[in-house]
Amino acid sequence: MQKRIQHSIKALLLAAVLLFVVAVAPCNALASPLNKNKEPSFAVLPFIGQGPAAQRLARRMRFAVAKKMSRNGHVKRISDHNVTMMISALQLSWAEPFDKSQVPQVVKALGVDGAIMGYVRGRKLTLVLYKGPKITKSCSAVIPGSATSPRLTVEGLLTRLDEVQFHHVSSQQADLNNPVLAARFKQRPNLVSDGSFTAAAHTPSHLTKMWEGFLAARVFHPKLLSAASARHLPNNAIAIVPTSVAVPHGPRGYCLMMHVGPGVAVNNGLAVESYWIPVHNGWHYRFSCWYHSTAPRVRIFLKGFSYQPDQFSNSKSLASQRFERYRAELLPVAGNHGWDREVMDFTPSTEGKKHHIQWMRIDFFIYLQPGEAFFRDVQLKYIGRPR
């Protein structure tokens, strides 16, 4: 009688797992020609850390990887909740000492095309890429200390897993003493849509779609607020506000306001990106903007994209057919006392690769310390062709 009951329980558990797979697992985009235009499904599994500190870091790093994969544009990520439910349904122990043979079971049960698993030892993070239930590649890196964002380290690991080579420029200066370049920059049109942040004042919704905020998988647009309303902007929010909110006695106009709370600041930060800016591969450009930070550390990324559609691209979405292959980085000072200007001369290119840069996006990123950061008069202009 007891054996019959045990068999019945096992049968019920198996049935529950099968029902869960049917409910949450997406169709395999690579399995059928009918689905060739659909995004491949992907899961970021819970990372394993050895010891309490490593476990906390493992949770942060999984969140960072999941966030990046959610904004990849080439894959459909399975929610963390569904992954957790599947692990529970399979009755697996997802803790140290960890049995790595459990990973293919979960990947297979979810029915996903790929997955990433992570392991943290001290501050060393190892990511393992699965295509189906099989390991295809792994790579490791040391996560920097609390004074440095883990963002570039995580993106570097994902880049190595996907075998994508970035042309990465860090903190290059502009030639401000060249009168010819200064004249060109002054005369030529700004390529940034709504770089003065005035568009929201002329729309019924008071929103601008020329700028996008990113928080985990959520995408949103800044709304125009009065100076009084801006003082009550909640944590992890963005808005277009009068410049007097940032610096009471400074220039008049509008600016972008970003307010990051403590939890997000010490984890993965708050980002705002511009709309797509058409550029020419190998041409010379100058970027300029004014910023003010009350406390958060600020990074400005100039990201270049090539046209690279694949079998998972959506023919109705040009964004899904673009692939990031270039990045320049500016390192402004955190906690400055007024408006400071950041300028960079740069040349977006892929260093001989066949997919040339055709678009740029400006990415304002704040992290580490909670508080506000403001940006105004954002400009990107063509200043010269290659010789």
Instruction: For residue 56, give the H/E element and its range.
Output: helix 52-70
Residue 168, pLDDT score:
55
Pair 268, 374 in one domain: yes
What does the pLDDT read at residue 262? 93
| Predicted local confidence at residue 167, as pLDDT | 53
- Report pLDDT for 353: 61
Question: What residue numbers bound the domain in which 43 lies?
Answer: 2-164
| 323 and 252 within one domain | yes
Task: Return the sign of the alpha-carbon dihedral for residues 39, 151, 191, 240.
Answer: positive
Residues 154 and 303 reside in one and the same domain: no
Report the CATH number that the domain containing residue 215 is assigned in CATH.
2.60.120.260
Q: Are residues 240 and 348 in the same domain?
A: yes
Whether residues 157 and 174 share a domain: the answer is: no
Task: Identify the H or E element spanning 186.
Answer: helix 179-187
Q: Is 157 exposed, middle or buried (0-12, 13-18, 19+ CB in 10 A)?
A: buried
- Bridging pattern class, strands 322-330 and 167-170: parallel
Identify whether residues 136 and 270 lie together within a single domain. no
* 284 shares its domain with 139: no
CA gap 232, 227 in Å, rounded: 9
Are residue 180 and residue 153 in the same domain, yes or no? no
CATH number, residue 70: 3.40.50.10070
Identify the domain boundary among 102, 129, 164.
Answer: 164
Q: According to the model, what pLDDT value does residue 74 have?
A: 62
pLDDT for res 26: 39
Q: How far is CA 51 from the centre of its chain?
A: 28
Query: Which residue has 């970021």 as its token pair?
Result: 44
Distance from C-alpha of 357 to C-alpha of 282, rounded to nearest angstrom? 8
On whether both 135 and 210 belong to a single domain, the answer is no
β-bridge partners, 260? 371
Domain boundary among 130, 149, 164: 164
The domain total for the chain is 2
pLDDT of residue 149: 60
Task: Answer yes or no: do 295 and 249 share one domain.
Answer: yes
Ranges under pLDDT 50 in the chain: 1-7, 9-37, 164-165
Q: What is the pLDDT of residue 334?
A: 79
207 shares a domain with 74: no
Domain boundary among 144, 164, 184: 164
Q: Are residues 98 and 42 in the same domain?
A: yes
